[in-house]
């Protein structure tokens, strides 16, 4: 391991400024003990960073040559000197002067496959912080759709204190980031979004989804009235726009809403 003074010398020789605390700050851990070199006189003529670096590298090589080394029992694998490794890392700043030297083999890191992120947008609301409502789509619900939703809930016996405003959740939230497991990362993103809304009093007891979307179906994997991702009882029906323009769709929807009144009241009694 390179001692701290030597590491700082290398950084200084490369023209990089290193900052370190020489005094213990209040409530801070003690600074690692090391020998600090006195500052160079102002009148000293400073050499270029590249020249200073070469001088340090040459000193390191000379120190290795001068140090006594016991004869190994078995032939040692050939290693590049420290100076050669430093020059290889610095590239054009310090070209190698060792003829025939070959670069060291670098062990590859873990292989990561870049995937394509799932792309979807949800309009999200929560009735009195209890019933989560999801609408797949880029545009928020219009006035007609909001009135229809309020009437449907009232007819089913679900009467929140006030109708909440919908907010958009888009994924991915940041473009250009590497993606390894698109589906899992999208699920974690939605879970994190909902967890952040707990500060607003969101504690979902049930999930209502109006509308169908292929990506949303992969995300939620609703099965037999349950959402495993959110661990909530779940219901999915037609989109509000479809219901607004079809009386037949409303008639089909009505039997599906049986039991909403009891579930809403039971949740209030538990609270």
Mean pLDDT along residues 238-251: 93
The answer, yes or no, to whether residue 90 has pLDDT greater than 50, is: no
DSSP labels, 138-195: SSPP-HHHHHHHHHHHHHTT---SSPPPPEEEEESSSTT---SSHHHHHHHHHHHHHH
The answer, yes or no, to whether residue 80 has pLDDT greater than 50, is: no
Domain range summary for the chain, segments of one domain joined by +? 1-21+48-60+83-92, 120-270
Distance of alpha carbon 183 from the chain centroid: 14
| Chain segment 146-193, per-residue pLDDT in tens | 999 999 999 999 999 999 999 999 999 988 889 999 999 999 999 999
| Chain segment 47-69, per-residue pLDDT in tens | 555 566 566 666 666 666 565 55
Residue bearing the bigger pLDDT, 8 or 45 = 8
Give percent above pLDDT 70 in the chain: 58
Give percent above pLDDT 90 in the chain: 51
The mean of the pLDDT values for the chain is: 78
Residue 267's pLDDT is what?
79
What does R_g of the chain's alpha carbons equal in angstroms? 33
Q: Quote the pTM value.
A: 0.58
């Amino acid at each position: 391991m390179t001692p701290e003074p030597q590491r700082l010398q290398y950084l200084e020789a490369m023209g990089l400024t290193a900052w370190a605390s020489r005094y213990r700050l209040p409530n801070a851990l003690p600074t690692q003990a090391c020998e600090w070199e006195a500052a160079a006189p102002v009148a000293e003529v400073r050499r270029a960073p590249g020249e200073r670096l070469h001088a340090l590298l040459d000193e390191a090589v000379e120190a290795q040559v001068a140090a006594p080394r016991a004869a190994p029992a078995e032939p040692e694998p050939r290693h590049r000197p420290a100076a050669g490794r430093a020059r290889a890392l610095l590239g054009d700043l310090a070209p190698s002067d060792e003829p025939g030297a070959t670069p060291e083999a670098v062990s590859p890191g873990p292989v990561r496959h870049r995937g394509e992120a799932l792309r979807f947008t949800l309009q999200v609301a929560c009735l009195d912080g209890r019933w989560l409502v999801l609408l797949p789509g880029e545009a928020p619900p219009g006035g007609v759709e909001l009135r229809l939703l309020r009437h449907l809930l009232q007819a089913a016996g679900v009467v929140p204190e006030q109708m909440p405003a919908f907010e958009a959740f888009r994924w991915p939230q940041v473009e250009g980031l590497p993606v390894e497991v698109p589906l899992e990362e999208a699920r974690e993103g939605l879970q994190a979004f909902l967890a952040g809304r707990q500060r607003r009093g969101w504690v979902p007891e049930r999930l209502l989804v109006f509308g169908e979307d292929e990506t949303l179906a992969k995300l939620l994997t609703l099965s037999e009235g349950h959402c495993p991702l959110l661990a909530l009882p779940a219901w999915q029906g037609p989109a509000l726009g479809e219901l607004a323009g079809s009386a037949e769709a409303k008639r089909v929807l009505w039997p599906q809403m049986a039991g909403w009144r009891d579930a809403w009241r039971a949740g209030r009694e538990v609270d």
